[in-house]
Amino acid sequence: MTAWSYSSLSTFKQCPKKYYHLKVAKDVKDKGSTATVYGQEVHTAAEEFIRDGKEVPKKFSFMDPILNSLNKIEGDKRCELKLGVAKTDDGYRPTGFFDEDVWWRGIADLVIINGDTAHSVDYKTSKNAKYADTKQLDAVAAALFIHFPQLKTIKSALAFVVSKEFIQKEHVVEKKDSYFATFEPDLERLEGAQESGVWNASSGPLCGWCPVTSCEHHRTRR
């Protein structure tokens, strides 16, 4: 099975046809929206502040309270940490982000490791946390337990930097395998599509933003 990430699986769930063109045929490129570019700039500013002590640009000064609170947490801070996990008959094991045997890959925005405890943070630039989805935290936590076997507890959070909200979730090593297991139903659907070659289109409110303009459901935004 082709390696997956939380974002790629989300794309498949949203629309298998979109996933096919972006990830399989690769005949369409998603240039990203203005919001996507903005999010990338926010991530870069946060990374440079935590990692290098570089001052946050004035236009992102609203992030200062959250970033300062994160910076005060003691431990080994790792920004934009690339993680890869391989799946074998014996279970999961760590592997490189681009290795041939990678089954899952993801990037943790910020990880702070202190002994047997870690903090895992994912920055969000949405206006508020109304539609917060913490399942991505489960996948990252599972990978962290695999890569850092000394960890017993991970305090995970979605940090909504605009609204200054923290959506928190605690993960424990005893449940590490169950965190990936929650994705199995969707992964089975993805694997079925890969085997059958059937990638059905799904119509929805986001079709106007889809880069697959050849799709019968595509429509120009007004």
d(CA 146, CA 176): 8
Look at residues 214, 215, 5 and name the one whose alpha carbon lies nearest to residue 103.
Answer: 5
Instruction: Return the beta strands (E) in 89-197 as ranges.
Output: 91-95, 104-114, 117-124, 153-160, 165-172
**pTM (global) more than 0.75:** yes
Which pair of tokens denotes residue 59? 């236009």
Hey, what are 215's tokens? Answer: 């799709």
pLDDT of residue 13: 96
CA–CA separation, 145 and 30 (whole Å): 32
Q: Which residue ranges make up each domain of the chain?
A: 32-182
Domain 32-182 in this protein, CATH class? alpha beta
Query: What pLDDT shows up at residue 208?
Result: 85
Residue 18 to residue 124: CA distance in whole angstroms: 23
List per-residue pLDDT tens for the chain, 222 residues long: 789 999 999 999 999 999 999 999 999 988 777 888 899 999 999 999 999 999 999 999 999 999 999 999 999 999 999 999 999 999 999 999 999 999 999 999 999 999 999 999 999 998 889 889 999 999 999 999 999 999 999 999 999 999 999 999 999 999 999 999 999 999 999 999 999 999 999 998 889 889 999 999 987 655
Coil, helix or strand for 117?
A: strand
pLDDT for the residue numbered 2: 86
Listing DSSP states for 82-111 in one string gives EEEEEEETTEEEEE-TT-TT-SEEEEEEEE
For residue 206, the model assigns a pLDDT of 85
Burial 48-82 (b: 16+ CB within 10 A, else e): ebbeeeeebeeebeebeebbeebeeeeeebbbebe
pLDDT at 26: 94
Alpha carbons 66 and 159: distance in angstroms, whole number: 8
